[in-house]
Structure 1
């Protein structure tokens, strides 16, 4: 039944110029259709180029059932909603209603905007902030959605955004004077009435975990749940099934108390004192927590006398806020809301300080100005399984990277899934002709002193010979910095570095330059789609094992041990394999793409587990010879016939 839409002369061929049916795509579409009809779970690994988006959209739209599609990022969410979904609706003649729903931090809060404008006319005026607020107010009168992503007047990372958007903590709900015009409420109403709703994993899991007002009613009505980029789900679920307290939440609470004092309760000077105490206590705690960029064990940290002292001060500040705000109840909706948040955050701090409760990981993280305290369940399988059982319906999970050595248990077990079917569909790309994988000889040992300098010396000529057009993916920010310094001293090509500007600007500059080396970590390992010869070389510094001191990894290792398992083979290797597959996936994005993958880690050939990594990657011819890499890239760049090195398939 479903195959006819994809077949020659079918609906998709008629609607999409150049569309060609692919057998793996049809197989996946039929499996999705079957899961929808039988209300079962399905897990599908669909290799790059399979066309998985159409393979789940067609059966979902044809089924006529209410569908929620969750994606891994806002970018993918927008691409699906604005490009792929309209295309499929036209092709299939689908007349149902569709909606895009993002988290509330993406929508302008009219009440907070008006408060900020009032506040910014006070004594502490920042002219830049005021001019941005005026531009946003002007935009707010013409926008239909209130989605700040559509406002060209402000940068996506503008510091003004947190001040004019709401959070679960500070939203006043139906008590808000702007409730009837609220963009979040409008977006949710639209989603409630829609047949297909496009969300992202963070929003979906936040809703499952806390049943946010308004959106909590949306999920039970759906009958089909599709998760694209599903490999991200277990880690995101861990975040939402735990609890967190951040200095940002405390600072925002203090700011709202101050605004309430300045605008609506000017006679209550204690409010200013309360706001100052909260803000100062959060800052002082941040100072004693150590270096930025660090994740640590909260159970250990809490034993430090300095941290214990600052926690007592923070607790006292919450107590004062609670007493003062209680006196202000009924004076102002903003202060009433602040009283509720104070009660909530005070209780959360108390819970975070009781590290004796087992079954959780207690950890903290620091940025230069902020901290976060977190409790994360060791396993989310039970909670997620409960949610699926409550909702019923069809649950479909797909990504290009779910299996480890053709085994799905790592993914399925982490979410407590019991799929009726789970299978892999191979990519249609001809990796034998399109790519070459090199694990160079004479590599330094991972983490040894001077690794970055050695890699710069080994690989500079390869990058230069390819005229840039290269991603160097790293497993740490330190390696990014060290390589950037080394390559900038050695190469005449542009060297672009993650962290020096936003991801979008970096990618745009990379494409514009046409001859750049881009050095990056985490954010560039997945979700980046550079087609054609703009990217013909991807280098990876080492196998992406999570740092052993990572508190979340420690928690999962502990959980695995408690269950009598082997953490290295059941937790660390599968995690690293999935991440490596994502990084490798940046290279070949199209049937015309050609390029070389260089992985600078001897363990692929010297350790027994290296075979698990290699078997999990696409079938790419292998070499250990960097001269062969240079020849292959010369051929790709049109300088000679393609050459695969003689010793391919040797030790690698």
Structure 2
């Protein structure tokens, strides 16, 4: 073993540092195995892809060797919630336990930081009738006087969906850079300076790929000096990457530009152009473009293989894009005449040119090798992207030169803190990365076929802690009555358990149907409280769900969620005892990106269903099932309301991807399992009271 590996092994030993300092720590063979593999990768450089099932303890498994290595480390997560947890809790506690003095920094995207300059004229952008937004803006203004970081996540009660946030934050398009009158005290620049001086920097996948696309977030200077890069929740890398590596044009961008054009024009160049008309023309063109796409009750993606998207009138679409280009060009000519009079106007001139170029691009046919589609909801997004991030990973990440000399303040030029290979170490970890030994669902699209791959099973005793039930008489998934039957079964289970039930749906339509049916069944205070995604922010719903488990009346809650609730939900103990999944989570066949990937596989002579749809469903199914058992003492029931799991040949592949739970064969066994969960919970509660 190398010195680093020896230190890592000692840390995770039964009498090691963690056993003496970390509450509840117990040695786990899988965790130690993963930590040693990461230490070896840090020693040698190269790429490691590791699937570590729930309960392995992957966070400490990568943090310990990263901190003990003495190298400069970049940690990237999929969510800001985990980013905050790493920075505020895990890293400081572990660094203190290990006795490792490290400088740590948290770096988020622009939309997370207050822009002092934009705050100054945010009030003018609000209408007199928008009272709730004015109250929120006043709260932001008061907080702004005391904050050091400018991170809007510090403000209690500020909804991340609040329309005030775009008014008080900057974007790459509207940031004035060094010309900004608030440049010296800019929170974004302060965060970047702290990141450049830190030993460990915590970022998120969105920020990482945004920088690869536009080289604007500060990563261009940071990454070359980093020797160890860890991507946690790596299963989201490909989908996150394709969002940023392509091009897009959104009506929201256009409306923001129109609003800023009017405000800045009147403030800095009143009388030199008719800013109200110019801004109105851009706004009208944006709304006409949205109208040309047709109505959409919910968010929809339209294929776009020809000159215009499928189902869209070609003449109306072409006219709307032409009108938009004309409105932007007219605005740019007016801005060019006054651009030197104020930084705001100069930046608006650049934005007008950029938006105009995008409009021209989307009016022309798409280039080969990309997929283009239209995302239609209340607004409109025109998008084109690569099918995956493989080429980018190979050419922009793995092909990067060795680590450059460290030029941070206080670090001698040319010195490297570690004694390892100059090759950069790339570590990709997640609880779910594939359904085969090579984890090809992840490694293929991410260009990591040559990486070292390892899979570590969960230490949980699933055969005793959990059971799987597939209702044998359930309607077929395509049947209109399927969601109604799912709601009926979920309602029976929730009533039996006193809530403690989460229903995960594969579509928003099913979410609404099941949510409405459960709400009607438990109207009043006759049963569990029904919580439905979208009614409140996700964080609030989860807090309410946890609180419901301790309800003095024993009502509890049943939570119905889709999309984001399939992962990132951690409810250990008896707060959550049953997870109900409505259908097998196959990729939506009508999605243009899914369709293009399937066509690519078919063109290669491969089976799109066997090589793409089934592995993708297996990964998503593992994610959903992973919400159930979070600790060694948890117990629960997984219900999958899709008979294809037992009747179709591919069902065996999907069952094999799930944890090895015991199978329930009928209604009687289901009721017995529910009774056992109630007895166990009551017994644990009674024991706790007696203690």
The bucket for the TM-score relative to the shorter chain is over 0.9
Q: Give the conservation status (yes or no) of the 8 Å contact 1:544–1:579.
A: yes
CA drift of 1:244 comes to: 0.8
> Paired residue for 1:177?
181
Partner of 2:465: 434
Larger displacement relative to structure 2 (578-587 or 292-301): 292-301
Structure 1 segment 246-285 matched on structure 2, within 5 A: 246-285=250-289
Q: Does the CA contact (< 8 Å) of 1:113 and 1:137 recur in 2? A: yes
Task: Describe the superposition over 1:610-648 as per-residue Cα deviations: whole angstroms up to 9, x where unpaired.
Answer: 111111111111123132122112112117999xxxxxx
Q: Determine which of 551, 568, 572 is the counterpart of 1:531.
A: 572
**Displacement of 1:152:** 2.6
Instruction: Identify the residue that residue 322 of structure 2 maps to in structure 1.
Output: 312
Q: Once the two structures are superposed, what CA deviation does each residue of 1:524-574 show, in whole Å capped at 9, x if it has no partner?
A: 000000111110000000100121111111121122223332211111111
The structure-2 alpha-carbon separation of the partners of 1:450 and 1:127, relative to structure 1 and needing over 3 Å to count, comes to closer
- For the 8 Å contact 1:244–1:375, the answer to whether it is kept is yes
Aligned residue in 2 for 1:624? 665
Among 368, 373, 377, the alignment partner of 1:367 is 377
Counterparts of 1:284-323 in structure 2, within 5 Å, are 284-290=288-294, 291=296, 292-300=298-306, 301-302=308-309, 304-323=314-333
Q: CA deviation at 1:128?
A: 4.2
In the alignment, the residues of structure 2 paired with residue 305 and residue 71 of structure 1 have an alpha-carbon distance, to the nearest angstrom, of 44
- Is residue 438–residue 626 contact of structure 1 (8 Å, CA) maintained in 2? no
Distance in 1 (CA, whole Å) between partners of 2:24 and 2:578 is 28
Aligned to 1:341: 351
Aligned to 2:112: 106
Matched residues in 2 for 1:312 and 1:224: separation?
48
Does the CA contact (< 8 Å) of 1:119 and 1:262 recur in 2? no
Alpha-carbon offset, residue 10 of structure 1:
1.1
Whether 2:501 is the aligned partner of 1:470: answer yes
- Distance (Å, rounded) in 2 between the aligned partners of 1:605 and 1:289: 41
Which of 461, 469, 480 matches 2:511? 480
Query: In the alignment, is the contact (CA less than 8 A) between 2:109 and 2:217 conserved in 1?
Result: no
Q: 1:149/1:639 Cα in 2 relative to 1: closer, same or farther (>3 Å)?
A: closer
Map of 1:237 onto structure 2: 241
Please name the residue that 2:532 is paired with.
497
Structure 1's 375 and 533: CA in aligned 2 closer, same or farther, altered over 3 A?
same
2:387 corresponds to which of 353, 378, 381: 378
Equivalent residues of 2:245, 2:385 under 8 A apart: yes
**Residue of structure 1 equivalent to 2:408:** none
Measured in 2, the distance between the counterparts of 1:184 and 1:101 equals 9
Q: Is the 8 A contact 2:440 2:449 kept in 1?
A: no
Q: Is the 8 A contact 1:109 1:164 kept in 2?
A: yes
How big is the shift at 1:201?
0.6
Q: Would you say the 8 A contact 2:213–2:244 is kept in 1?
A: yes
Q: For 1:41 and 1:355, how far apart are their aligned partners in 2?
A: 38
* 1:175–1:506 Cα change, 3 Å: same
C-alpha separation in 2, matches of 1:352 and 1:79: 40
Q: Which residue pairs with 1:196 in the alignment?
A: 200
- 1:232-287 deviation per Cα after TM superposition (whole angstroms, max 9, x unaligned): 00111111111111111111111111111221111134222111111111112112
Match of 2:479 among 432, 448, 465: 448
Shift of 1:459: 4.1
Residue 647 of structure 1 corresponds to: none
Q: C-alpha displacement at 1:14, in angstroms?
A: 1.9
Are residues 639 and 74 of structure 1, via their aligned partners in 2, closer, same or farther at CA, if it must alter by over 3 Å? Answer: closer
Q: For the aligned residues, what is the CA RMSD?
A: 1.8
**Shift of residue 142 of structure 1?**
1.1
* SS of alignment partner, residue 328 of structure 1: helix
Conserved? CA contact 1:65–1:223, under 8 Å: yes
Are 1:378 and 1:559, in contact at CA under 8 Å, matched by a contact in 2? no
Question: Which piece of structure 1 moves more, 3-12 or 487-496?
Answer: 487-496
In the TM superposition, residue 420 of structure 1 has moved relative to its aligned partner by: 4.2
Closer, same or farther in 2 for the Cα pair 1:354/1:630, shift >3 Å? same
Give the structure 2 partner of residue 648 of structure 1: none
Asked if the contact 2:329–2:353 (Cα under 8 Å) also holds between the matched residues in 1, the reply is no
Rounded Cα–Cα distance in structure 2 between residues aligned with 1:153 and 1:598: 35
Alpha carbons 1:405, 1:612 under 8 Å: kept: no
How far does residue 20 in structure 1 lie from its aligned partner after superposition? Answer: 1.2
TM-score, length of structure 2 as denominator length: 0.90
- Distance in 2, matches of 1:165 and 1:563, equals 45
Q: Are residues 640 and 38 of structure 1, via their aligned partners in 2, closer, same or farther at CA, if it must alter by over 3 Å?
A: closer
1:572 aligns with 2:597: no
Q: Deviations over 1:488-538 (max 9, x none)?
A: 233432111111111111111111222111111001000000111110000
* The one of 517, 527, 547 aligned to 2:558: 517
User: What is the aligned counterpart of 2:210 among 174, 197, 206?
Assistant: 206
Contact 2:273–2:334 (8 Å) recurs in 1: no
Gaps of 5+ in 1: 643-652
Choose the corresponding residue for 1:68, options 70, 74, 94. 74
> How big is each residue's C-alpha offset from its partner over 1:335-355, in whole Å with a ceiling of 9 and x where there is no partner?
110110111111112222222
Q: Distance in 1 between matches of 2:137 and 2:220?
A: 32
| SS in structure 2 of the partner of residue 133 of structure 1 | helix
For the residue of structure 2 that corresponds to 1:235, the secondary structure is helix
- Quickly say closer, same or farther: Cα 1:15–1:552, change in 2 above 3 A: same
The range that moved more, 109-118 or 321-330, is: 109-118
Q: TM-score, normalised by structure 1?
A: 0.95
Q: Distance in 2 between matches of 1:639 and 1:364?
A: 51
Distance 1:213 1:78 in 2: 19
Q: Distance in 1 between matches of 2:124 and 2:639?
A: 56
- Equivalenced residue count is 639
Distance in 1, Cα, partners of 2:125 & 2:588:
44
Partner Cα distance (1:405, 1:453) in 2: 35
Segments of structure 2 that go 5 or more residues without pairing to the other structure are 1-5, 403-423, 550-555, 684-691
Pairing partner for 1:89 from 75, 91, 95: 95
Distance 2:581 2:641 in 1: 6
